[in-house]
Structure 1
Amino acid sequence: MRRLIEKINIKYSLALIAIVGVSLLQACEEEDATIGSPMVTSFTPTAGGPVGTFVTVSGKYFSTTKPTTVKFNGVEAETLEVSPTSIQAIVPAGATSGQISVEVEGYTGTSTSAFAVTSGTPAPVILSFSPTTGNGVDDVSVTIKGVNFSTTAAQNIVKFNGVLAAAPTSASARSLTVKVPAGVTTGKITVEVQGAPSIATSPADFTAVSPTVASFTPKSSIVGSTVVITGTNFSPTAANNVVKFNGVNATVSQATATSLTVIVPAGATTGKVSVTVDEKTGTSTDNFTVN
């Protein structure tokens, strides 16, 4: 009986060792596949471009924690952002037409097709912008980040959903600072650089904010009395807020982004209170009663 038990224990021990060994082997294979063998599956623009062109390299097993190098036909490129499946790179000076390669800790993956390095001016690209909301009357400045902008401010034509902005107040190849134009509406920001082959479009919308009227105090009063309106997206500059009592313009004496102090105007009648900022209007749900 003792020998039988010993044999059973040996069999179970061998089985356990085999299971552990297989698990370790699988883990090693997965690790090798993850950090050891980058794959380049595609790149955009597929038609190629001149030195300075922004290129997105797509694939698998790129690393965000280990040294990652992108090369254009053997010439190392600047990388802007790396994820496990995508790398943003800039075509480097001295690059010639050929394969794009990605190297991660000595392991290299190479594109099957060649990237054609051409002559000319690289296209601008918008990567991000901040802030992402605002209006066109409060002197809001937006910083646009990207590549291939002109360092001469006037050569960058910036539009907010088609509305032309003034020339940037500062400009570099990677950043523009512009004032939001009056009459702005929600939509994409575009940058056209003189001499560039295409126009850059932002990946996200700039949101043009509209005022909202939440409440007012008192709910009723006489002409000439003071009323405090609360809400959102008012202009801190009193003159930029157009307030009406049932269609009659009122005078704004004090203003913050969330509160307006106004005088009930002569000729006002019972009805809604509205606030307009940069051609956008918010209207109260309740009526103000003129006594």
Structure 2
Amino acid sequence: MKLIHFTRLGVFLLLGLGACKREDEALPVPSVAGITPAAAPAGATLVLKGTHFGATATDNAVAFWQGTRSTAGTVTAATGTSLTVTIPESLPAGDYLVKVKAFGQTSPGSELTVLPPGPVVTRFWPLSARTGSKITIYGRNFSPVADQNEVFINLEGQPALGLKPEKATDTSLVVAPWGSPGDYTVQVVVNGQKATAPAKYNMTYNPPSISSMPFIPASAAAGATFQLFGNNFNPYAAFDTVYFATAQGPVVAPVTRAMAQVLTVTVPAGLSPGAYPVSVHVSGQVAYSPYPFTVLAPAPALTAFAPASVTPGSTMTITGTHFSPTAGRNTVVFTRDGNAMTAGVTGATATALTLSVPVYVVPGTYELSITVDGQVAVSAQPLTVVGDPKVTSITPGSGIPGSLITINGSGFSPVAADHQVEFVYGAGAAVPAPVTSAAYNMLKLAVPAGLAAQPLPYTVRVTVYGKTVQGPFTVTAPANAPTVTSYNGVSSVNRGATLTLVGTNLKATGAVTRVHFTPWPGGGVTTVADGTPDAAGTSLTVTVPNGLPAGQYQVAVEVNQVYGSAPDMLQVN
């Protein structure tokens, strides 16, 4: 009996110790590694991947936490590493933490975004219409903001076409689909959630037409773009095909942009200049232009010119591409401050032009452009024109003081005040003469009063644009001008001595006759002394000023502001 008693006691002790050990062991905590999808609307199904889940659905409880409030989800399938869960239908949209409880242990929260309810399409109206017609799609859970809804129509075998609704409410969308005739699947996408209409939309077609004024511009070079106007084009460029009819067959002109009434088209590359009939093909329907499109020669390109700076009337060369080899078909223009001047083209090839710079162009920087068959190219760099005045003649070639003369030449300024004109005799002082009228090729002015007639011409100097040019002009004596023929037989005289001048018209009327002593050569300060003429005016005496430096002098007599000079120099000692 004692043996049986002790045996039973040992078994009880062993069982008790084993039970205590299992109760003391900690059960594993479930862990969620990922949720698919990471965002879904209420009522959607989720798959949770992780570890230490219960092996059956009832072993697990899944809760959706937002702050301190939780809502239980429904576990529909389970393994130790995967749970299939339904989001509660009543769960509002927002961000949640998903927690799994198994065997009394709860996992940390995993993030999930519950989306607003997805769209539902119930019907659309009309069921069939011509392409471009408006249809209304009915359903629920649409966005009242039109741009937040996307509508896709898909004809079997073709890419889906995306549309933006013209109008939108929670329950309806208005779109105007375009495409080829056929039956289309209609799908609405809102916030990434899709819904498909229960029936297909039947699209029929309005044939295209081209307007009576179809092209802007009506001509262009290959590679250029133009606009083609008409009606019932497909607003999806891929469904509009434009052809240029050539002798070798139709050539496709790429459509780069499309609307129902206008297409943007590129002139096909490689077409020769000429007129080409144009047609538009839309979903098997064809429209023809009432008159052809004109393809121009390639637009010119101006790449360089030489020299970089030119003078009026000089020759220069322009290089580039697509010039006309016929000189007269190239127009070269110099433009400055809105004023344009055409240069004459004297020689031409397809890549180079020779031209004459306009003689009347004024110095400065100019935009240089070339026009060939209506197409214009402009130089990227400005052309510099530098001043290069020239005097070719002075008419008349001689005259008395006060007479009007014209200086002929080129490279002058059209502004009179830009010029400085001076009359100089030998090494004498320069006498200014204001310009009264100016043009690019001539100046008009009066011979300065008081210039003495001289046996040799005066030098007339013209300064403009920082350059000085000159020409000869002979000053002649007026009919009553004094003349000095000699110094009464002497050629030298001492300072302070009396000098006798012989000549004609030496007596002033109601005024003093003056004698001018001007150093020679080199000019210098002219010294004036009063002279005493005889009654006949054929001689006068004058006292040589004491202050004159020794040297040679040009002697002139002034009578009533008219001058006459002695033919020879006078030596003053």
TM more than 0.5: no
The TM tier, using the shorter chain, reads 0.3 to 0.5
Normalised by the size of structure 1, how large is the TM-score?
A: 0.42
Query: Which entry has the higher C-alpha Rg, 1 or 2?
Result: 2
